[in-house]
Amino acid sequence: MSAQELLKSAEDHMQKAVERLHKEFQTIRTGRPSPHVLDKIEVDYYGTMNPIKGLGNISIQDGRTIMIQPYDKGSLKAIEQAIQKSDLGVNPNNDGSVIRLSFPPLTEDRRKELVKMVGKLAEEYRVTVRNARRDCDQNMKKLKGTISEDEIKKHGDSLQKLTDKYIKDIDKTLKDKEEELMEI
C-alpha cells in the first residue's frame, strides 16, 4: 500500500466510526421521542426477525407519543411484545389498529445517567479513531525504505490533522447530545 492509500484507509475508518456514533446516539432516548429509538428493536414476525420500521409506518403524534401503524394488523401483537422485551422503558398501548408509545419526561437522575452513558460511548469511538491513526502510523513506518523521512513526516502530519478533525467531530456530537439530554 502507498502512503496515500494508507491515509485514505485511515480516514475511511475514522469516518465510519463517527457515522456509527451518530447512529448510536440517534437510538438513545432524549426528552423528545424520535422514531430512531425503535431502530434496534427487531420483531419476530412469521419466523424471521424484522425491524419495526419494516412492518409499519412510524410517526410522532405529539411531543411525547410515537405511533406505529402496521401494514398488517396481524403484526400488532408481535410488535407490542418486541417493544415490551426491549430496554426502551415504555409500555405500548395497542388499540387494535395502531400502537402508541407514550414517553414520560425523563427524570433528572435518568438524564444524568444518559449523559454519562453517551460520554463513555463517545470515548469508545475516540479510541477507535486513535487506533485507526496508530495502525496507519505503524504501516507508514514500514514504508521507510520506499519513501523518504520527509514524506513520512508529511503524511504523519496529515494523519494527525485527520485524527484531530474526527475527534473534534465526536466532541461536537457529544456536546450536542448532552445538551439535548439535559433539555427539559
Q: Please count the other Cβ atoms lying within 10 Å of the Cβ belonging to residue 150.
A: 8
Q: Tell me: the pLDDT tens digits for 24-55?
A: 998 887 777 888 888 889 999 888 999 999 99
CB 32 within 8 A of CB 101: no
Question: Domains in the chain and their CATH numbers?
Answer: 3-27+107-182 (1.10.132.20), 35-102 (3.30.1360.40)
pLDDT at 184: 67
Q: Tell me: the pLDDT tens digits for 11-25?
A: 999 999 999 999 999
Residue with the larger pLDDT of the pair 91 and 1: 91
CB 83 within 8 A of CB 60: no
Q: Tell me: the pLDDT tens digits for 81-121?
A: 999 988 777 889 999 999 999 888 888 888 899 999 999 99
Q: Categorize the per-residue pLDDT at 63 as very low, low, confident or very high, splitting at 50, 70 and 90.
A: confident
pLDDT at 106: 80
CB 133 within 8 A of CB 159: yes
Q: Tell me: the pLDDT tens digits for 112-142?
A: 999 999 999 999 999 999 999 999 999 998 8
pLDDT at 149: 85
In angstroms, the CA 154 to CA 65 distance is 53
The answer on pLDDT for 180 being more than 90 is no
| pTM > 0.95 | no
